[in-house]
Amino acid sequence: MNDKTNYIKLPIWFIQMSSNKNTPFYLTPFEQQLYLLIRGLCNSGKCYANDNYFRKIFKVSTKHVNKSMNKLEYYELIKRVHQNNKRYIELYNNIKEGQVLVCFGEKKEITVITQKGAYKYSKDDAHLLSINDLEKL
């Protein structure tokens, strides 16, 4: 069976980075599974799965789903959009090989996550970062 449409592609560096508790980008196993499911559902761009759907799939509480979705949104991996009394989910940052993720933290810091590692900068130094600098990381 050579049907690759049933696979959700995710670079190894992203899995390693999000699985390591010592990185600023740690995701719990549940958060990783939730993100992968959302990636699969958003294959056409967006999905309309609600919290109840995720609760039933994973057999967890709605509160746990919401807390995990908030973290995925905080890391700008997903975006929940409310429109016409409906919510849909979009992939906010489609993780690909060689990509750079930039997360803006609450403590006046910026975290740049690349295939080679995670780098922290203060928001005061953000103006010093250029695209060329990010490509070198």
Distance, CA of 98 to CA of 100 (rounded, Å): 7
Instruction: Confirm whether 45 is domain-assigned.
Output: yes
| CATH at residue 60 | 1.10.10.10
The whole-number pLDDT of residue 5 equals: 59
55 with 36, same domain: the answer is yes
73 with 110, same domain: the answer is no
The whole-number pLDDT of residue 20 equals: 80
Assess whether pLDDT exceeds 90 at residue 66. yes
The whole-number pLDDT of residue 84 equals: 86
Name the residue with tokens 């995720």: 54
Q: Name the domain count of the chain.
A: 2
22 with 75, same domain: the answer is yes
Assess whether pLDDT exceeds 60 at residue 61. yes
82 with 20, same domain: the answer is yes
The whole-number pLDDT of residue 135 equals: 58
Helix (H) or strand (E) segment spanning residue 1 = none
The whole-number pLDDT of residue 120 equals: 72
Instruction: Confirm whether 96 is domain-assigned.
Output: no
79 with 40, same domain: the answer is yes
pLDDT, the chain, mean: 78
Where residue 60 falls among pLDDT bands split at 50, 70, 90? very high
Estimate the share of the chain in helix, then strand, then coil, as percent rounded to the nearest 5.
45, 20, 35
Domain ranges, residue 119: 101-136
Q: For 79-121, how does the pLDDT look when each residue is reduced to its tens digit (9 = 90+)?
A: 999 888 888 999 876 665 566 666 666 666 666 666 666 667 7
